[in-house]
Structure 1
């Protein structure tokens, strides 16, 4: 790992590239689905241009690469297919450890011709929310826990996924939660993943085997939201690449295998007073503060309306069901894993809130912007939470949308979320998801053929 300070300016970035003898640059732009878009440039071209241009619609496409035929925002930008200017963020530069030649990857921000951030680009949305916190003298601190499945190679979309073969020559057929031996089945893969993460300076922490067959979880050290969103974005690329090199797939689908638990991206979050460095969620005597309760109140009030942002696909809602180890409502409680909002046992300075409704398939920038936005509104409006859930939250009614179509309706109706996250972002995001939903509805599933073909 490079122990020198990370670049903060373009000149320092150039020195970093010199030090690592970089010959090519992967210029990355996270789109709304979390896909890495961009260009690969020779080092000299990158240095001369200090950025590049791409069509603005590149960051606003569906997961299948489609665009809305007609939309409030797309009618404006698609008429001339206008460009956006991409500026590299020096702090995001990382090696590409699997590349044959010395190659770097740099994440870029998206700007329009007037020098303003493109409002629906994922990094722009998260920056917008972080700026709102900064204006109050607050600093969010977050720590994601990201679940994913390792599966055998599958080139036929009509064939169900299955666990991969481990070192023993056998695939998992039972639940192996927290099993060390089950993780060791894939030692060669995880050695590569940790080596890649070390060389990329990704601050990953604990690796565990989750409940599902072939399901893993990686935890990240707590840090600032934008930097951690970058790390999750890069980590997903890294795990998928490493898995391919070991003849398997890694998937962050929310519900990839029927009968197995879904995959989440639990996000721990607290708010620090920038002037004092104190955790706003705790009083001086160590007890929970009003801000703590108001933050939870904001999550309870706005997360249901914002679910389309963190359960972004039709598959996402298969995870959010009873008996799937995922929440079905937005109850809150201390050290209670059946609720949507959990407060883990911690010292006063580490008091935090864990949002458990977010899927692993969510764009990390959008997910962090969403949960921080809900908490922000709660603190600003001083929203009181519901009484703490002391028992099993699965015995309470559903309080989250049950489908992507329903979630989009809830999202469009909420003016407070639109104000905080940006009207342009909500408009473009909803239009993209409508395109994906309409595409899905054209597909006839095996269940329909099995149970309806000869019975209705």
Structure 2
């Protein structure tokens, strides 16, 4: 705490945003004057915030009271001094401090997404393995809109005109929003977010930011902070940034591609490579585990009903657990690289996924594969989009069922987390089903 106190004083921080991530990825917490924050050495929050839905509602009472104390007690939140970020858009010097959550006995709260990722990383540590990840975040820029019934429209760029077609990898199309991205890069540097390449993706005003590879927990923190940073930068420039998986009809969805590899902590070498640079047996088993268990844990990578719109046919998203070398039509791609950078790219996660849970699920599947020595299928050398068997849940209902029935998920992530997460997603879907869509009004109103 002393190191954090010194840092806050050196940066003349007057306010501290004390935050945790709920299951949906929404940041919740308190804003505190710095002096009060240092005096209290953390914060207390109702543990029930971890069972809120994306709409702010609550899960069914039976689940709620089976997982939480009926007295609606507080959890104890301790700041992580390695997860502190200055906020460049605030009027006064303000820091965001990510907290870890514990119960009154000092045990980590099982419903906390950050604790879920820590639990998975502990499995690797026991084996002497250090996972390395590098997320790629896709998102759309759109015009501002205050009517959720009106489809989103492309924003106006520097030229005064909106994009009218897809401009994959176009430098000029990305340059249309140079002032916005200059602020975004400056703000990320100010916060210590290690982002790398910016590209224009396939969709109209769809962009992608790549992160430098690094520690999974730190990168999960950085993705969470980056989403907010990107939205703030967009609003400053009069547009919106959205990480919805499928925000616009007839446009590609937005993914969070996860590159992952593993370093032997004793030798510092990549365990995915043999001495001659070929795939190691551990790498094959890692791929096998991904193929075997990703269908059961897909809900952690595709958490919303909108997530599954990205998996519709002809949407350029891989709806399979096929794997292949440099094959972007596969859900599991092996990029070309040298032996020390041998890695797997998981292309299934949506940009809307909670970064802690998506990284935890992806690493867990590979870990189980290595422990259970699961052999993968033969690599796919052709077009995996044309595979007849999707091999994955294609609705959120089936994804919830597969997660609830997964013995592996319960063994490694705990019954409390699986039951709580599934309950949140069921509550959100029930809420969604109550909304009458514009499609129903358009085609059924006067026709049936």
Task: State the match for 2:428 in structure 1.
Answer: 436
TM-score w.r.t. the length of structure 2 is 0.98
Task: State the match for 2:241 in structure 1.
Answer: 250
Count of aligned positions: 447
Deviation string for 1:228-278 (max 9, x for gaps)? Answer: 000000000100111111111100000000010000000000011111111
1:324 correspondence with 2:315: yes
Q: Structure 1 pair 452/240, CA: closer, same or farther in 2 (3 Å)?
A: same
Distance 1:236 1:267 in 2: 16
Deviation string for 1:122-154 (max 9, x for gaps)? Answer: 100000000010011111000000000000001
1:33 and 1:62 in contact (8 A); partners too? yes
Task: State the match for 1:418 in structure 2.
Answer: 410
1:373 and 1:421 in contact (8 A); partners too? no
Task: State the match for 2:348 in structure 1.
Answer: 357
Distance 1:335 1:193 in 2: 30
Distance 2:409 2:125 in 1: 18
1:22 correspondence with 2:18: no
Among 142, 163, 168, the alignment partner of 1:151 is 142
Structure 1 segment 294-333 matched on structure 2, within 5 A: 294-333=285-324
Q: Aligned with 2:305: secondary structure? A: coil
Deviation string for 1:330-375 (max 9, x for gaps)? Answer: 1000000001000000001110000000000000000000000100
Among 440, 445, 449, the alignment partner of 2:437 is 445
Q: Structure 1 pair 85/298, CA: closer, same or farther in 2 (3 Å)?
A: same
Structure 1 segment 207-222 matched on structure 2, within 5 A: 207-222=198-213
Post-superposition offset of 1:53: 0.3
Q: Aligned with 1:315: secondary structure? A: helix
Task: State the match for 1:6 in structure 2.
Answer: none
1:283 and 1:289 in contact (8 A); partners too? yes
Task: State the match for 1:293 in structure 2.
Answer: 284
Post-superposition offset of 1:285: 2.0
Task: State the match for 2:382 in structure 1.
Answer: 391
Post-superposition offset of 1:316: 0.5
Distance 1:300 1:136 in 2: 22
Q: Aligned with 2:62: secondary structure? A: coil
Distance 1:336 1:322 in 2: 18
1:187 correspondence with 2:178: yes
1:344 correspondence with 2:335: yes
Q: Which is further off, 428-437 or 62-71?
A: 62-71
Distance 1:129 1:159 in 2: 41
TM-score w.r.t. the length of structure 1 is 0.97
1:104 correspondence with 2:95: yes
Q: Aligned with 1:375: secondary structure? A: helix
Task: State the match for 1:93 in structure 2.
Answer: 84
Distance 1:75 1:81 in 2: 12
Deviation string for 1:168-222 (max 9, x for gaps)? Answer: 0111010101011011100110011011001001000000000000100000000
Distance 1:428 1:85 in 2: 19
Q: Aligned with 2:315: secondary structure? A: coil
Distance 1:418 1:388 in 2: 30
Post-superposition offset of 1:449: 2.2
Q: Which is further off, 326-335 or 393-402?
A: 393-402
Post-superposition offset of 1:406: 1.0
Post-superposition offset of 1:305: 1.2
Task: State the match for 1:141 in structure 2.
Answer: 132
Q: Which is further off, 56-65 or 443-452?
A: 443-452
Q: Which is further off, 92-101 or 358-367?
A: 92-101
Distance 1:253 1:404 in 2: 15
Post-superposition offset of 1:59: 2.0
Post-superposition offset of 1:34: 1.0
